[in-house]
Amino acid sequence: MQVTVIGAANIDIKAKSKTSIIREDSNPADVSMKAGGVARNIAAMLAKYNAQVHLITAVGNDPFGKMLQESCKTLGINTDAWIIKKKASTGVYVAALEDDGELYTAFNATSVQESIKTSEITKHKKLILNSDLLVLDLNLSEKILNLAIELRDRRPIMVDAVSVAKVPRLEGFIDKIDVLKLNRIEAEHLTGIILDTKERVMQASRQIVSYGVKRVFVTLGVAGVCAADSHGEIIVPAVPTPVKDVTGAGDAFAAGIAMNISKTLRTQAQAGVMFAAEHLRSKNEKIH
C-alpha cells in the first residue's frame, strides 16, 4: 500500500506532572522531547505496518528540522518531498500532562506549514495522484488543502481534523472527503451538538455524513469511537489498556483506519481502536 501524507511534522516537548497539576504553581514533572506532528505521527505508524509512505511537510533549516528528517528516514518514511524553509522555524508542540498521562493543556507553533506555496505541492502532482491513499491534516492552509484535493482527482482522501481551531478549514471541501477523523470536541464544533450522550454522538455523526463525507470516525476517549456512513452508525468500545502517554493516540487511531481503508466500517473502526491501544501501551522514540 502506497500512502502520501501531507501535513505537520514537529518537535513534541512534553512535561508529565508527577502529581495532580496545581494551577499557578510550579509542578514537579518528567520532561521529554520527541518527534511529533499529526501527519508525521500517522506516517510513522503506517511505515511501522509496512506501508510505503511518502511524507510531504515543511520544516525550518534548523537543528530541529534536521533531527526530524533523520528520525523519519530511520523509520522508513520517504522524505524526498520535504520543503525546507530557510526563513522559518520548525514547528513545536508543547504539552502539559497530568500524572495519569491525560492531557492538561497544550500549545502548538506550526506556522511553518502555513508558508507552503502551491508550487511546492504541484511539483509532486504525480506522487499525490498515484498513491493508493492521500492523508491530509488541517495544519495546512485552506489553499493547499484545496489544491491537494484537486490534484487527487477524486481518488480516496482521508482527513484528520487536528484541533477545534482548524475545523473551519473543512468548509470548502468537506463533501470531497472519503474518510474524516475527529475527536469529540472537534465534532461538537463542526455540528454544534454537545456530545454528552450516546444518542447525541450518533446524531452528530449522521449530521457530518449528511455534509457529504463518505465515512466519519469520532473518537470518544475511554468511550471508544462512533463510526458512521450512509448506512448508519455504530459505537466500537475502547480497549482497556494501561496508559503511558495519550499524546499521539488519535494519530495512531487515524493510521489504523487508513491501513484498513477498503474494509467494512466496523472492521475499520476496530482497527483504529487497536492501533490506538497499542500506542497507549508503548513509549515513542525520543530524539536526543
How many whole angstroms separate alpha carbon 99 and alpha carbon 169?
A: 34
Mean residue pLDDT of the chain comes to 93
Whether 288 maps to a domain, the answer reads no
- Mean per-residue pLDDT for 1-6? 97
How many whole angstroms separate alpha carbon 69 and alpha carbon 8?
A: 12
pLDDT value at residue 101: 84
Strand-pair category, 58-60 with 83-85: parallel
Instruction: Tell me, rounded to whole angstroms, the distance of Cα 137 from its chain centroid.
Output: 6
Query: Phi/psi class of residue 101: alpha, beta or left (left: φ > 0; alpha: ψ in -120 to 50)?
Result: left
pLDDT value at residue 77: 98
Domain count of the fold of the chain:
1
Q: 130 Cβ partners below 8 Å, 6+ apart?
A: 2
Residue whose C-alpha is closest to residue 219's, from 247, 182, 194, 245 = 182
pLDDT digits (tens, 9 = 90+) for 65-115: 999 999 999 999 999 999 999 989 999 999 999 998 888 998 988 889 999
- Mean per-residue pLDDT for 277-283? 77
How many whole angstroms separate alpha carbon 141 and alpha carbon 156?
A: 20
Whether 287 maps to a domain, the answer reads no
Residue whose C-alpha is closest to residue 205's, from 237, 52, 102, 197 = 197
Lookup: cell for 201 = 454522538
- Mean per-residue pLDDT for 8-14? 94
- Mean per-residue pLDDT for 139-151? 96
Full-model pTM = 0.90
Lookup: cell for 180 = 474524516
How many whole angstroms separate alpha carbon 248 and alpha carbon 42?
A: 9
| Strand residue runs (E) in 184-243 | 215-219, 225-229, 232-236
DSSP letters, 61-74, are SSHHHHHHHHHHHH
pLDDT value at residue 283: 57
pLDDT digits (tens, 9 = 90+) for 153-171: 999 999 999 999 999 999 9
Q: Dihedrals φ, ψ of 134, to 5°?
A: -110, 125
Whether 150 maps to a domain, the answer reads yes
CATH number of the CATH domain containing 9: 3.40.1190.20
How many whole angstroms separate alpha carbon 52 and alpha carbon 66?
A: 22
pLDDT value at residue 286: 45
219 is in which domain, residue-wise? Answer: 2-21+30-281
Of the pLDDT bands very low, low, confident and very high (cuts 50, 70, 90), residue 1 is very high
pLDDT value at residue 186: 98
Half-sphere exposure of 14 (CA within 13 A, CB side): 25
Structural contact between residues 79 and 72, judged by C-beta atoms closer than 8 angstroms: yes
Whether 260 maps to a domain, the answer reads yes
Whether 213 maps to a domain, the answer reads yes
Instruction: Tell me, rounded to whole angstroms, the distance of Cα 27 from its chain centroid.
Output: 29
Of the pLDDT bands very low, low, confident and very high (cuts 50, 70, 90), residue 19 is very high
- Mean per-residue pLDDT for 253-263? 96
With 0-12 CB in 10 A as exposed, 13-18 as middle and 19+ as buried, what is 216?
Answer: buried
Whether 286 maps to a domain, the answer reads no
pLDDT digits (tens, 9 = 90+) for 204-249: 999 999 999 999 999 999 899 999 999 999 999 998 776 666 667 8
